Amino acid sequence: MTMTVHFFTIPALASQPAQDEFNHFCSMRRVVAVDRQFVADGRDSYWALCATVAPGSGLLPDALKAPERRSGVGKEGVASSSVRIVWWCPSRAAALASLDDLSDHLWRQRLLRLKPSWHIGRSNRGLAYCGFRVRPGVVLASVRKLTRYREGLSRVNAAQSGGLASIAQAQRAHDGLLATLTGAQTLGFRQRLLKTPGSDNTGQFGYPCRQGCGSL
């Protein structure tokens, strides 16, 4: 299955027209992942978005859809966003020095100031953010995110083996599940799912699962 990527920019100011265009694009296609990056450039700041689209059309069967869950998004479906930066240093002195360098760069190059809520501290477990745990040199998925992937995989296998979804539909559903782990090191976890004796994640719907285990 060949996927395509599409790029968009949404200005930080007067963003509604670009948002409407992007939302319309997503509503008409099978978008499996959206990556975003905020580009700070004063009044010309903008969001850069990359949408990964799977081929084909039509809705997935109900048996392949995940149950609805509450989220932190407000009634209007709009959540506030901010830019967070994290980096690791060998010592507190080095962290303070790099923070001064960053503050100076932002002010001289962009006329921007860091918010006073910055924090320096030891981190043995890394930084938890958006369902991932970030450590120096590696990004891991949270226990909740891995649990939802395992539940979704079981749901896809059951739907396909029970005749409620075709192979193509099940593959498409698994692509969506795999997209939630994009960027995280989960190869070992997904391989263990395939090897678990008696698991309903093996022996029923092998192709999509094994395809997903081919990458990090």
Q: What is the pLDDT of residue 203?
A: 38
* Domain membership flag for residue 60: no
Same domain, 92 and 11: no
Q: Has residue 205 got a pLDDT over 70?
A: no
Does 172 share its domain with 146? yes
- pLDDT attached to residue 80: 39
Domain that holds residue 194: 130-216
Task: Indicate the DSSP class of residue 64.
Answer: G
Our count of domains for the chain comes to 3
Please check whether residues 139 and 114 belong to one and the same domain: no
What mean pLDDT, rounded, does the chain reach? 75
Asked which of 4-13, 135-144, 194-203 is least confident by mean pLDDT, the reply is: 194-203
What is the per-residue pLDDT across 179-193, written as a single tens digit (0 to 9) for each?
Answer: 888 888 888 888 888
Residue 75 lies in a domain: no
pLDDT band, residue 163 (cuts 50/70/90): confident
Indicate whether 47 and 89 sit together in one domain: no
Q: Are residues 144 and 110 in the same domain?
A: no
Chain-centroid distance of CA 52 in Å reads 11
- 195 and 146, same structural domain? yes
**Pair 114, 145 in one domain:** no
